[in-house]
Structure 1
Amino acid sequence: MNVVQEPLQSGQPLAESYLSDYEAVEHLYGGGYPANERSWTARLQWLDQTEHLRAGRKELVSRLREYNERLNPEAAVMSSLSRLEQPGTVVIAGGQQSGLFTGPLLVIYKAATIIKAAERAASLLGRDVVPVFWIAGEDHDWDEVNHTYVLSPSLEVSRIRIPREEGRRGPVSHTTVSEEEWNHAATELERLLPDGEFKADLLQQLRDTLAVSGSLTDAFARLLGTWFGKYGLILLDSADPALRRLEAPMFEAMIRSNDELESAYHAASKEIAAQGFHPQAEVAEGGANLFYVFEGERLLLFKREGRFVDRKGLVSFTPNELLDELHSHPERFSNNVLTRPVMQDYLLPVLGSVLGNGEIAYWALTGKAFELLQLRMPILLPRMSFTVMDDKLQKHMDKYGLTWEDVMDHAVFDRIKAAWLARQDQLRLVEQFEDMKRAFAGMYDPLIGQLGSVEKGLLKLGGANKAKIIEQMDFMQTRVRDALERSNETGLRHFDRIELTLFPQRKPQERVFNIFAYLNRYGFDWIDRLMEVPYDMMGHHRMIYM
């Protein structure tokens, strides 16, 4: 495994400014800069001084221990929990939605980053720092998490999916997946993965996991525990009803200060726009930035005429009624994308939070909310970013003179591919067709012009006749081009494999493909070898050459 840094544009200018020009955007964040050692010591001191502002450690660890004993029962995890129970221990946190078979590769890279960042911070500060993965099981958008992708042997980016009919949209953690649905998804994965020495055992391990998992979140947690539990990674499900009871004081603060909280988000959005950036999350007018679960459906709350209501008109509360409901049924409350960072900081002593670039961009909206609720944004750590390339693919790129930058720029890649195919046309057939069409038009257009003097209708007829002749030439030219592609199919498949492997759906590999394709090819210890890659605190994109 050889690792080389290569550039990859994130498409998130605000996140890139955070990493490369922190002083310009510091007022939007304020949590400190990851490469500045003073930021780490300042954050640690603040956490020590504000222990009383967060949820009780013993109650938190008690619930996390119960959850991890069921789904992630590694000795290293129990050790992490015992340390977290002690005052002064802090965490590196990060999270993701619970996707099918863990979703895209970036989830794996995020888990690895959380663990390695915790190790680095512990070494830097001389303090216990434990890794925590926050599973966003409270999210309700089934279509965002019910699928994953692998590259089939026939070079198709194939989707594996557990579909659901439209209905009430409840938290993913509370959405049951049947044995039949699991079997269908696992069978589809088996069909799409190439045969190899690891395939049978890998699929058996997956099926054993699915057999005892009642939801996407359960399976997600068990798989992460299988791969990362040995490194002490604590798992947390944001939809856990027991955690809701611990979070109730923060929900109460959000309800009591809801108008001020909304104003804080709007003010941050305006500041972001004033600096020329596009806010990465919508700050809805009159939005309460909280969800309420009613009869299994997760409803976003808004403020209308002094009441908290949902868009469908299913629930309506005065502020006092909503507080009474919170005290009676905290499990019915849920964060949105803007309040979740604050809740994470209330629940855990967060030293640093591992985020993707899109998340770094939208966290800028939350800086003033942290201050309003007497908290402080943690240090934001970019997730490590990788693209995996095998030696065969590298040989293809060398053969056609392709660089990483060529493949990354899709317009350039298309031009290089078209130019290569054109060079295979040694008879210049395509060019000859274009010459012939120009020559024909040059001879026929003057004749058509004269036809109108013979009879008015002949002018229109002549134009139609010309179009039909050109159409026939185009038809023949297309057939020739198709034949040319068939005769050069091997080379074109090389180009396709390069693009589909590195940029499937014209997106970075890590945002599309699932980990099982790589475990199937490189073995069960592939993640352990990934954990040996040196930690890059600034999250630069790197190529992993296998």
Structure 2
Amino acid sequence: MPTDCISYSETNYFSNLILDYLAQKDELKAFYHRFPELSNFKAQIGEKKAAFSKEHREVLVKVLREQYKDLEITGEVSGNIEALAENNTFTVVTGHQLNLFTGPLYFLYKIVSTINLTFILKKEYPDYNFVPVYWMATEDHDFEEINFFNLNGKKFKWNKANDNAGKDAVGNLSTDGLDEVFKLFSAEIGGGKDADRLKELFENAYLKHENLTDATRYLANELFKEYGLVILDAQNKELKKEFIPFAKNELTEQISHKNTLEKANALNDLGYNVQVNPREINLFYLNNGLRERIIEKDGEYFVNDTEIRFTKDEILKELEDHPERFSPNVMMRPLYQEVVLPNLCYIGGGGELAYWLELKDYFEAENVPFPILLLRNSALIQSEKIDGKRKRLNIKLKELFLKQHELINRKVRKISNIDIDFSPQKQHLVEQFQEMYKLAEQTDKSFLGAVKAQEVKQLKGLEKLEHRLLKAQKRKLEDEVSRIAELQNELFPNHGLQERRTNFSEIYAEYGDQLIPELIENLNPLEANFKILTFGKG
């Protein structure tokens, strides 16, 4: 399959923070431990090996066996689960919300990046085993972020939600009501072998499992079981027991706030947008369909917007007896992940890496190794037919990423049979006024303001004429303008990145079973560039 790439900076879709991280700017080196270069994993392996106990491995394997007991799994998945009991096995992790039918396309890219890094590491370090892990964000409660997906420009939304939607952890939500989404999805996706496979996946995942956690586990396993992906639901009492000391530190010493605020402020001082601002306590209370913030005031602990309250001794006893009721928020979840997994690297999008960069001091304060942070692969998928249209319109790949009006203006100027660039005339005008400035200084300096005003007026007049001429040429070249806009709209739905809006089913319906193998073949997580993948069918 033909592949091309452009730099992340040329896409104009990535923040300065991420671009500077990829460039290893000196001012950011205090915010991470090791940069994601292959040679740096040797030291990371040694550090994690020394910190992760055999007892932790035994708990992890026991939990995974239990979570997979009702799933049909491959030898690759089973082998990876059992390998985690050995002290020469390590994980590479990505995390993602339980988006309906995987949500945006980049869900696949995150997992493919994770799988491919384990392959690369195994080749470089053959004495060790590396397991790709998808950490399901079962404890999130932002239902509105996950209850839809986009297909063929249409939004398929789960409207008949549970009463607890937005209050409870999303993993607990019943799949009731998704039969209606399935009917609409089936009608839209149509017939044929690939469409039938998609309908089967949706039906088996959401209509044959009772909650969103089980449905998502089934779906992700079906898509990636051949590659040994291990899927973890960390909302588990046995795993939460291992996190008790860190949750206790949070409740009694507010340790995450104390050790992330400085880094957040430092990022802000460097001119970067701070992704997440830490709270004084970064734990939620999770019980009986409720997930709400824990707040400490005058030595007592309150669950926000409820009548639930604890003394210090009571909340610490609650933690010991029911650790599963204490749910880390976005600032503590990374630490929880690294406590319960023998992990080397976290793979995430730009927004995720931005908040991870606030956490290094917190990890050091808790004496937990800080993982290597790697930006997930990003890609644009197109057909040979679309690529042919682009070439006939003489549009360069990087020009596709321009704002539509910029792209159209640029191409109209280029294909027009008259010159719509008034830059020479503007330059000539400026030179003429320089002579007038000299004359005014020699005669009457009070005249300078009038000269300046006239220069501005005439330059604006030229710009207005240029704009009107460009507009007239757009009308004259209406067919070319329409084809340019149509091409870009097909590749950039709603003028945004395809990977952030389009669901995988739209691509799968066209390319079928070749989709994931082609992604595995062509996305290298250690190549820091944006890929354009051209599929042969379509």
TM-score by length of 2: 0.82
Matched position secondary structure for 2:68: helix
Matched position secondary structure for 2:4: strand
Distance in 2 separating the partners of 1:55 and 1:343: 16
Match of 2:461?
Answer: none
Match of 2:341?
Answer: 348
Match of 1:436?
Answer: none
Deviations 1:72-95 (A, max 9, x none): 622211100111111221111111
Q: By how many angstroms is 1:294 displaced?
A: 4.0
Match of 1:305?
Answer: 298
Is residue 178 of structure 2 the alignment partner of residue 182 of structure 1? Answer: yes
Match of 2:90?
Answer: 90
Q: By how many angstroms is 1:408 displaced?
A: 1.1
Is residue 140 of structure 2 the alignment partner of residue 139 of structure 1? Answer: yes
Match of 2:45?
Answer: 44
**Amino acid aligned to 1:316:** R
Match of 1:33?
Answer: 35
Q: By how many angstroms is 1:165 displaced?
A: 7.3
Matched position secondary structure for 1:280: coil
TM-score by length of 1: 0.81
Distance in 2 separating the partners of 1:319 and 1:524: 55
Match of 1:404?
Answer: 397
Match of 1:80?
Answer: 80
Q: Of 520, 532, 536, which aligns to 1:543?
A: 532
**Amino acid aligned to 2:140:** D
* Contact 1:149/1:514 (<8 A) preserved: yes
Matched position secondary structure for 1:293: strand
**307 and 504 in structure 1: CA distance in 2 versus 1, 3 angstrom threshold:** farther
Matched residue pairs, number?
476
Match of 1:511?
Answer: 500
Q: By how many angstroms is 1:195 displaced?
A: 5.2
* Contact 1:80/1:130 (<8 A) preserved: yes
* Contact 2:91/2:342 (<8 A) preserved: yes
Q: By how many angstroms is 1:187 displaced?
A: 2.2
Q: By how many angstroms is 1:391 displaced?
A: 1.6
Q: By how many angstroms is 1:344 displaced?
A: 0.6
Q: By how many angstroms is 1:57 displaced?
A: 0.9
**Amino acid aligned to 1:48:** K
**Amino acid aligned to 2:172:** H
Aligned residue runs from structure 1 range 410-429, under 5 A: 410=403, 411-415=405-409
Match of 2:169?
Answer: 171
Deviations 1:276-330 (A, max 9, x none): 222111223xx30111124311102233222332442433223322211111222
Match of 1:446?
Answer: none
Aligned residue runs from structure 1 range 276-425, under 5 A: 276-284=271-279, 287-410=280-403, 411-415=405-409
Distance in 2 separating the partners of 1:207 and 1:494: 38
Match of 1:273?
Answer: 268
Match of 2:466?
Answer: none
* Contact 2:162/2:173 (<8 A) preserved: no
Match of 2:257?
Answer: 262
More displaced stretch, 263-272 vs 410-419: 410-419
Q: By how many angstroms is 1:48 displaced?
A: 1.9
Distance in 2 separating the partners of 1:333 and 1:500: 45
* Contact 2:17/2:354 (<8 A) preserved: yes
Q: By how many angstroms is 1:174 displaced?
A: 0.4
**Amino acid aligned to 1:226:** E
Matched position secondary structure for 1:525: helix
Is residue 203 of structure 2 the alignment partner of residue 214 of structure 1? Answer: no
* Contact 1:22/1:33 (<8 A) preserved: no
Match of 1:428?
Answer: none
Q: Of 522, 529, 532, which aligns to 2:518?
A: 529
Q: By how many angstroms is 1:26 displaced?
A: 1.6
Q: What 5-or-longer segments of structure 2 have no aligned partner?
A: 418-471
* Contact 1:93/1:134 (<8 A) preserved: yes
Distance in 2 separating the partners of 1:406 and 1:541: 14
Is residue 236 of structure 2 the alignment partner of residue 247 of structure 1? Answer: no
**496 and 194 in structure 1: CA distance in 2 versus 1, 3 angstrom threshold:** farther
More displaced stretch, 287-296 vs 244-253: 244-253
**Amino acid aligned to 1:395:** G
Distance in 2 separating the partners of 1:170 and 1:205: 26
**Amino acid aligned to 1:21:** Q
Is residue 9 of structure 2 the alignment partner of residue 13 of structure 1? Answer: no
Distance in 2 separating the partners of 1:9 and 1:72: 43
Distance in 2 separating the partners of 1:261 and 1:363: 12
* Contact 2:256/2:332 (<8 A) preserved: no
Q: By how many angstroms is 1:19 displaced?
A: 1.5
More displaced stretch, 332-341 vs 216-225: 216-225
**Amino acid aligned to 1:222:** Y
* Contact 2:363/2:369 (<8 A) preserved: yes
Q: Which stretches of structure 1, 4 residues or more, deviate above 4 A after TM superposition?
A: 165-168, 194-197, 416-420, 490-493
* Contact 2:92/2:345 (<8 A) preserved: yes
**What is the root-mean-square deviation in Å for CA atoms of aligned residues?**
2.9
Match of 1:191?
Answer: 187
Q: By how many angstroms is 1:368 displaced?
A: 1.0
**Amino acid aligned to 2:91:** V
Matched position secondary structure for 1:516: helix
Match of 1:204?
Answer: 200
Distance in 1 separating the partners of 2:353 and 2:3: 25
**Amino acid aligned to 2:500:** R
Matched position secondary structure for 2:47: helix
Q: By how many angstroms is 1:22 displaced?
A: 4.8
**Amino acid aligned to 2:316:** L
Deviations 1:345-391 (A, max 9, x none): 10001111111121111111111110111112111111111110112
More displaced stretch, 233-242 vs 309-318: 309-318
* Contact 1:33/1:380 (<8 A) preserved: yes
Distance in 1 separating the partners of 2:213 and 2:495: 28
